[in-house]
Amino acid sequence: MKKSLISGFVLCLVLLSGCAEVQKLPASSPSSAETAPSMTASSLFFAEDPQQKLILATTADYVLMTPQQVSSKADLVVLGQFVKNLGSWVEENGRVYTKGLVRVMGILKGELREREIEVVFNGGVVPLSDYLRSLDEASVKKMGILPQDITDGDTVFDHFGPYQANPALNQPYLFLLNAMEKENTWFLGSDALSMLSVKDEQYFDKLTKSWNPVRDLFQP
Amino acid sequence: MKICKFLSVLFISLYFFTLPSNFVMALPGPVLPYNLRWNITDIQYYLVGSAVNYATPIDAASKNWWRPFGPGSNNLHPNTRTYDQQQSAIDYYTYSDIYHNANAYTKFILNPNKLEVSPFLSDWSFGRVFMNIPYMNSAQGPGFTLLQSQQAIVAHEQGHVFGLNENNLTPYSIMTQSAYGRSVYTVQQTDNDAFNMKHP
């Protein structure tokens, strides 16, 4: 009887440990997990700034997230690199955008005549005063920000949490872009998920944290 | 005696074999590391500008989070509309961006502005939900009506303000992102359990 109880106990331990393993699995488990690409902080568009008064993080309900989803809906997929930060600005209700100049090194999907394109994306750093001007009076009052709290040089970093695009200058990326109305201007529709690090014909999938062949992007 | 032994091992094994699967099903969804500071028993929302066009799905989503009675009830109250923006824990805005692949997003605001306001770095006082008009107007969840699909988007963002994180391990959570195939438009047990974990 003792033996059978012990064996039952051992069996249940095995089952429970198996259950714990299942819970640890990520949404889509990486087949070949490797370290994420490293970037030099000084070359990033948005680095830490002691005068940053506010950091407003965002969580978004994306309709397209996986590289395959994003690439299938992209108007243009190019290999390129940001060569210049063209600046950030704020639109109504505190929505911040940033524009950069991208030098195109290769086209994988779509058509393009120019070798340099302008790419716009969500988030960025703007003066706090500009940010507050974009809000209505009641919204500013609710934030509890008083004019005497603001000093010259105070900034706001509006960012999309873990999916904020924060490109490093002169680093190669695969850009999955949506065409904007303005000619030669494109948008990172799924934020950082539309901008994939690349090396040796492979791209880095931020969701699974794995390197995968670029050709897989275009498989149905 | 042998039969007795066999049955005891079988029953114990069966008990523990079925327990884990139920246990997994009942797990609360993921939560954000920090908290909403607003008193959860005094939650109201405010509609800014054209957000009034979505008053119906916002009302439905708000009522859906509210569980005052029975097992698994929560402390959320009253989660209704206010006409005074200073009294609201959630402010709804709209924006129109066909280029952005998102139905909506939530910003976390701390009042007064003494600290960084990221739900991964600090608490927040209230939330701003931005609904993307072109996506809201063409929202189409699996087998849902337009209103149900809009309700799902709003309920998802409300969950963030309450302190819940994305729950992409299952499609059967309101906190599953659309891209991961969210298959429900109402708050599920896993979501309510996560809510209760945040606001016991």
Residues of B in contact with A29 (CB under 8 A): none
pLDDT at A179 over 70: yes
**Closest chain A residue to B93, measured at CA:** A93
pLDDT at B10 over 70: no
Structure tokens at B71: 């097992």
CA distance linking residue B165 with residue B169, whole number of Å: 12
Count of C-beta atoms within a 10 Å radius of residue B77? 14
Q: Report residue A75's pLDDT band, with 50, 70 and 90 as the boundaries.
A: very high
B99/A180 touch (CB, cutoff 8 Å), yes or no = yes
- For residue A5, the SS3 value is helix
Residue A68, burial from CB neighbour count under 10 angstroms (0-12, 13-18, 19+): middle
pTM of the model: 0.83
Which one of A23, A55, A62 has the shortest CB-CB distance to B102?
A62
Weakest mean pLDDT among A40-49, B62-71, B85-94: A40-49
pLDDT at A25 over 60: no
pLDDT at B19 over 80: no
DSSP states of B22-74: HHHHTPPPPB-SS-B-S-GGGEEEEE-GGGGGGHHHHHHHHHHH---SSTT--
CA distance linking residue A200 with residue B192, whole number of Å: 45
pLDDT of residue A28: 38
pLDDT of residue A111: 94
Q: Which residues pair with B45 in a beta bridge?
A: B81, B90
- For residue A144, the SS3 value is coil
pLDDT of residue A44: 85
End-to-end Cα distance, chain A: 57
ipTM strictly over 0.85?
Answer: no
B106 interfaces chain A, CB cutoff of 8 Å: yes
Structure tokens at A151: 């000093």
| pLDDT, average across residues B63-68 | 95
Weakest mean pLDDT among A12-26, A82-96, B181-195: A12-26
CA angle A61, B154, A59 (to 5 degrees): 35
Q: Report residue A114's pLDDT band, with 50, 70 and 90 as the boundaries.
A: very high
| pLDDT, average across residues A118-139 | 94
pLDDT of residue A49: 78
Give the number of A-B residue pairs with CB atoms closer than 8 Å. Answer: 161
pLDDT at A186 over 90: yes
pLDDT at A20 over 70: no
